A and B are shown apart, each in its own frame.
Chain A
Amino acid sequence: MSESVSRDPVVEAYKAGVDRTLIRERLARTPAERVEDLVALARFAEELREAGDAARRAP
């Protein structure tokens, strides 16, 4: 990163809760792979939502 950013203490506090292992995993993939993964995850989340709706409708 060539551009430094000033530190905001509130954001710094939130950063303590960020999972760095997830970030490193994401950074190991290409930008296209990251988007494809997001699409797959969104589809999975949608299927879960529909399954939940169906379960609530079931007698």
Chain B
Amino acid sequence: MHPGWRRAATIHGSARLTRDVDVVYSRRPENLLRIVAALGPFEPYLRGAPRGLPFRWDVDTIAQGLNFTLTTTLGDIDLFGEITGGGGFDDLRPRAHPVRVFDRDVLCLDLPMLIRVKRAAGRPRDLDALAELEAIADELDR
């Protein structure tokens, strides 16, 4: 798993406060087992869904879905099997680099790729964030 664009934006220098973590995850079976084990203790549930739905956090659920917006006792986590403009984990892996945070290495999209997927998402509410990312790119080019 690796952090997707929002936390990656922080790593690249964004000053924006975000409340969730986006993760693009590998769909390989062994990784689905890891995700279930890693998040299971933190009571993952579908964000915004009414309580009491028969949602089970297990490998079958992840395998039958793709992208999940979750609430957990740690906070909100979005799990992406694919992202618009970037594809899946294996597509993005060459554009992700290890960054040391909290005493562990996490994979983080490089800035041009981050900008590309942000643009591809095409959400009007992201325009501020996209402008900031491009301004960061400008600053790095100075």
Interface on A for B, CB 8 Å cutoff?
A: 1-3, 5, 8, 10-12, 14-15, 17-20, 22-27, 31-32, 34-36, 38, 41-42, 45
The tally of residues in B whose CB lies under 8 Å from a CB in A reads: 33
> Which chain B residues lie closer than 8 Å to A24 at the CB level?
139
Closest 3 CB pairs of A and B: A14-B131, A3-B112, A26-B13
Q: Which of B10, B116, B141 has the most CB of A within 10 A?
A: B10
> Which chain B residues lie closer than 8 Å to A10 at the CB level?
127
Q: Which of A18, A19, A25 has the most CB of B within 10 A?
A: A18
B115's closest neighbor in chain A, by CB? A5
Interface on B for A, CB 8 Å cutoff?
A: 7, 10-15, 17-19, 99-102, 108, 111-112, 115-116, 119, 127-128, 130-132, 134-141
Would you call the interface of chain B mostly helix, strand, loop, or mixed? Answer: helix
Q: Are B128 and A14 in contact (CB under 8 A)?
A: yes
> Which chain B residues lie closer than 8 Å to A22 at the CB level?
15
